[in-house]
A and B are shown apart, each in its own frame.
Chain A
């Protein structure tokens, strides 16, 4: 433990207070920066920090274990076995859809129902609606529905939360479901619109709400079967960036 006096003159806050607070992650951002600058040159505080970090872990171990649902293990193992999708692929015409090769499609199928169910559970918590939607997706897949990755459009401008997701189309093509995550939440000044496109024309499918966890989903029901369209895409509207080209797109298989 630092003695709290030898290191103080060059830094604020007091290292003796800060080392415990830093280990707990409860310093304000400014204090954290100052302490990190101090820490770089203070082996005494680094040693003290190591001890305090062990305490943080030990306090966590005092909590009674609660096993997660068995489905989480299955979803994780499916996820680590699936090859990672490529970051960017060549852009074809119109919506600049990221091409999805058979290998990627197969990997997506591996993570299909379990992962989507998990995403929906995350998105909607424990509401009945989530269970219903997860069941709906499971039925789609088992009845021959298709699943495509919703990936960043190749020419989309870089943003802090580019997001990704999936598009599930029902076997009879009457409906589809979009699930997205890692997006900036919707708000008064930001909204997301889902579109379908064919022959260069777009049809609005609806507003896609994105919750505080960055997750959103939307059940798509068009007047025409989904197979009448070539792609589904999402545009983002905000005051700083007016609605433009879709930034996430998926082909309709």
Chain B
């Protein structure tokens, strides 16, 4: 319903979506860009696109939250790649810090926290090497080939480890009670239709 209203240029519906998702969108952009000004640029761009091209979200192709988070990730990585002029050595960062803050803070609702924990748990259950490669692929904007070069590892190994990690997460999240992007971004089932 909210997205239908946004398609009809309803500013209140847009503001509601912004209020509901801006922190999650900005948090993801910040995890990738590590720069508040740039993450706000990514957040701005994604919401502006949502307003200007609402038809780009197709509800038959998955959840709204998942689409929105993929959109901001793509935008953040675009910005990161444009910004990255220095050598690949510049990406030598503590990747552990990129993944979820272990202390989300008391203000988060119990349900959100629970689903976020489920996704984090699924990540924790990956073999450390698979998780490391997945994090590099997810947060740094490096291609598989760049990751392989960076780590001086065979490209085939990098590809297969990323594939296995993604498949495990997909299988894990497909289990009953496990979080999709919607469940992890504060959308209880009763409100999901609100977005269509």
Residue numbers of A with Cβ under 8 A of B are: 1, 13-14, 16-17, 19-21, 23-28, 50-69, 72-73, 75-77, 79-81, 118, 121-122, 125-126, 212-213
State whether A21 and B162 are in contact (beta carbons under 8 Å apart), knowing that A50-B61, A62-B100, A65-B23 are contacts in the complex.
yes
8 Å CB interface, B1-57 against A:
11, 14-15, 18-19, 22-24, 26-28, 30-31, 35-41, 43-44, 47-48, 51
B70 touches A64 (CB 8 A): no
In the assembled complex, which residues on chain A have CB atoms less than 8 Å from the CB atom of B104? 64
B163 and A57 contacting across the interface, CB-CB below 8 Å: no
Contact: A63 with B85, CB < 8 Å?
no
Query: Of B35, B43, B143, B170, which one neighbours A27 at CB under 8 angstroms?
Result: B143
The total of interchain contacts (Cβ-Cβ below 8 angstroms) comes to 191
Contacts of A63 in B (CB 8 A): 24, 27-28, 31, 99-101
With a cutoff of 8 Å between Cβ atoms, the chain B residues found around residue A19 in the complex are: 163
| Size of the chain B interface, CB-CB below 8 angstroms | 78
> B26 contacts A66, CB within 8 Å?
yes
Given contacts A24-B162, A61-B184, contact A56 B73 (CB under 8 A): yes
Closest-CB distance, B36 to chain A (whole angstroms): 7
Chain A residues within 8 Å of B36, by CB: 126
With a CB–CB cut-off of 8 A, which chain B residues contact A55?
166, 169-170, 173
B residues 97-149 near A (Cβ < 8 Å) are 99-101, 104-105, 108, 115-116, 119-120, 123, 134, 137-138, 141-145, 147
Other-chain contact of B70, A53, A65, A66, A125 (Cβ < 8 Å): A53
For the complex, what is the distance from the CA of A56 to the CA of B32, rounded to whole Å?
14
Known: A58-B173, A58-B184, A61-B69. A52 touches B166 (CB 8 A): yes
Given contacts A21-B163, A54-B180, A122-B38, contact A61 B116 (CB under 8 A): yes
Q: A75: nearest residue on chain B (CB-CB)?
A: B44
**Are A80's CB and B51's CB within 8 A?**
yes
Decide: A62 and B99 in contact? CB cutoff 8 A.
yes
Interchain CB contact under 8 A, B44 and A61 = no
**Distance in angstroms between the alpha carbons of A79 and B45 in the assembled complex:** 11
Query: Which residues of B sit under 8 angstroms from A21, Cβ to Cβ?
Result: 137, 144, 159, 162-163
